[in-house]
């Protein structure tokens, strides 16, 4: 076993860190406070290689390994979960999905624009009555001559309000249940599609764009199907495997940001004539945060490393997502307390880390669901 990063891995890490320090971190607080999604930043991310990630070089990416991609998302996640979420949706949920399941024509039509940032992508699975229970989606795809008509409602769709292309999961044969689910690529300006912001104000990820999408007989050519008729459940889950690795990486990033902020504060803040880092209770928190960070980083890189080797990594991905997201919430919670009243104010970043970390526990399969996947893998299928 070799736990060391290669020279190229470190170079990617350093390059992304420099980009994030210049273009993302300085704006994170303001975009969170204003709830502002700055669309001009998308091209910058594309130029920095952050939309191509591990996609094939044929589409204009830098051809990073999955380990390098995870390292890049850790850097981004440490600065701003909203932009890390954007990249996870664009590159993992949409880009890797199209590369894996799309036709050659779809790959050629879509992937160069995805990697450059010319087009924004969204992945629309969740519905008002179908969140965790993906097979229960009610959006329908009805044949109309050579075309298909999509009708239904999607909600909580990241990038949904601004996307140029949306991967929409609809049921083409509801009697078949999950075997009728099909993935379609839908233009953002398709007649019959309306979009609006989600109801209320989000707890975190406030610099993201989250939308409700309503489809009223949106007409698509049959060539819009991604991965084959009735294969949408498998396509959706395939996308989520790569997406969850992106979320785990983001959770590692949040933990790194918490540790960095807390170390600096514990060294500088003085009470009772000593720096607070000299109190054992504070040291206990720092040590626990470090153990959470180090273990989730190892689990995440292990899952990415297996993906690079072409091995099945679904189980490792669930372990990494579950462990890293739970550890991120714990780290951010302790970071707020460790900062005292300062931790309670947006003038310090740790309260944002806590609000953002809660989202990571929910999307792309909640922590409950990751535990179910892990336990099912352990138990195996019941004999009939």
Query: Which residues of this chain interact with ligand FAD, rule CB under 6 A?
Result: 89, 123-126, 131-132, 156-158, 205, 210, 359, 362-364, 366, 368-369, 372
Q: Who contacts 310 (Cβ-Cβ below 8 Å, separation ≥6)? A: none
Rounded to the nearest whole angstrom, what is the least distance from the CB of residue 152 to ligand FAD in the complex? Answer: 12
Please tell me the distance from the alpha carbon of residue 36 to that of residue 38, in angstroms, as a whole number. Answer: 6
The answer to whether 292 touches 298, Cβ cutoff 8 Å, is: no
Cα–Cα–Cα angle for 77, 80, 84, rounded to 5 degrees: 50
**Is 199 one of the annotated active-site residues of the chain?**
no
By C-beta, is 91 or 126 nearer to ligand FAD?
126
Q: Provide the minimum distance between the beta carbon of 22 and ligand FAD in the complex, in angstroms, as a whole number.
A: 26
Pick between residue 177 and residue 340 the one whose CB is nearest to ligand FAD.
177
- Rounded to whole angstroms, the Cα distance separating 160 from 212 reads 7
Shortest reach from residue 37's CB to ligand FAD, in Å: 13
Provide the minimum distance between the beta carbon of 373 and ligand FAD in the complex, in angstroms, as a whole number.
11
Indicate the residue among 266 and 324 with the shorter CB distance to ligand FAD: 324
Render 40-86 in DSSP notation, one character per residue: THHHHHHHTTTTTTTS-GGGT-----HHHHHHHHHHHHHH-HHHHHH
Task: Please answer whether residues 218 and 190 qualify as being in contact, where contact means their C-beta atoms are separated by less than 8 angstroms.
Answer: yes
Question: What is the nearest approach in angstroms of ligand FAD to the Cβ of residue 169?
Answer: 8
Candidates 196, 351, 364, 382; catalytic one: 364
* Alpha carbon distance 117, 46 (integer Å): 5
Output 93 or 262, the one with its CB closest to ligand FAD.
93
Nearest Cα residue to 71 out of 6, 20, 13: 13
Residues 6+ apart with CB under 8 A from 174: 140, 180
**Contact 174/167 with Cβ under 8 angstroms?**
no
342-349 own/partner pairs: CB under 8 Å, 24+ apart: 342/265, 346/29, 346/32, 346/33, 348/261, 349/28, 349/29, 349/257, 349/261
Task: Supply 33's token pair.
Answer: 């406070």
Which CB atom, from 203 or from 291, has the smaller least distance to ligand FAD? 203
Q: Provide the minimum distance between the beta carbon of 81 and ligand FAD in the complex, in angstroms, as a whole number.
A: 9
Is the CB of 332 or the CB of 338 nearer to ligand FAD? 332
Nearest-approach distance from CB 361 to ligand FAD, in angstroms: 9
Name the phi and psi angles at 365, rounded to 5: 95, 115
Catalytic machinery residues: 364
């Amino acid at each position: 076993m070799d736990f060391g990063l290669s020279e190229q891995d470190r170079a990617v890490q350093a390059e992304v860190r420099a980009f994030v320090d210049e273009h993302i971190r300085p704006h994170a607080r303001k975009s969170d406070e204003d709830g502002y999604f700055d669309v001009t930043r998308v091209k910058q991310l594309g130029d920095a290689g952050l939309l191509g990630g591990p996609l094939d070089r044929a589409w204009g990416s830098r051809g990073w390994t999955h380990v390098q991609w995870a390292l890049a998302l850790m850097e981004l996640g440490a600065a701003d979960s909203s932009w890390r979420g954007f990249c996870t949706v664009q590159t993992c949920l949409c880009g890797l999905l199209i590369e894996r399941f799309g036709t050659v024509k779809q790959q050629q039509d879509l992937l160069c624009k995805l990697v450059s940032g010319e087009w924004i992508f969204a992945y629309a699975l969740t519905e008002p009555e179908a969140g965790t229970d993906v097979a229960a989606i009610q959006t329908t795809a009805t044949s109309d001559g050579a075309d298909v008509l999509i009708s239904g409602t999607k909600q909580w769709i990241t990038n949904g309000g601004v996307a140029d292309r949306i991967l929409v999961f609809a049921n083409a044969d509801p009697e078949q249940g999950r075997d009728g689910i099909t993935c379609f690529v839908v233009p953002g300006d398709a007649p019959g599609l309306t979009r609006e912001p989600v109801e209320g104000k989000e707890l975190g990820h406030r610099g993201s764009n989250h939308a409700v999408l309503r489809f009223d007989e949106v007409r698509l050519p049959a060539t819009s199907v991604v991965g084959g008729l009735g294969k949408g459940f498998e396509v959706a889950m395939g996308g989520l495997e790569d997406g969850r690795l992106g979320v785990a990486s983001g959770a590692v990033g949040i933990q790194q940001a918490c540790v960095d902020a807390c170390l600096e504060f514990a060294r500088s803040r003085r009470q009772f004539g000593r720096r607070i880092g000299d109190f054992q209770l504070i040291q206990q928190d720092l040590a626990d945060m470090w153990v959470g960070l180090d273990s989730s980083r190892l689990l995440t890189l292990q899952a990415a490393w297996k993906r690079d080797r072409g091995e099945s990594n679904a189980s490792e991905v669930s372990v990494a997502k579950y462990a890293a997201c739970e550890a991120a919430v714990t780290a951010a919670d302790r970071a707020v307390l460790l900062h005292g009243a300062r931790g309670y104010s947006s003038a310090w970043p740790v309260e944002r880390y806590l609000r953002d970390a809660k989202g990571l526990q929910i999307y792309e399969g909640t922590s409950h669901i990751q535990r179910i996947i892990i336990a099912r893998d352990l138990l195996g299928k019941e004999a009939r």
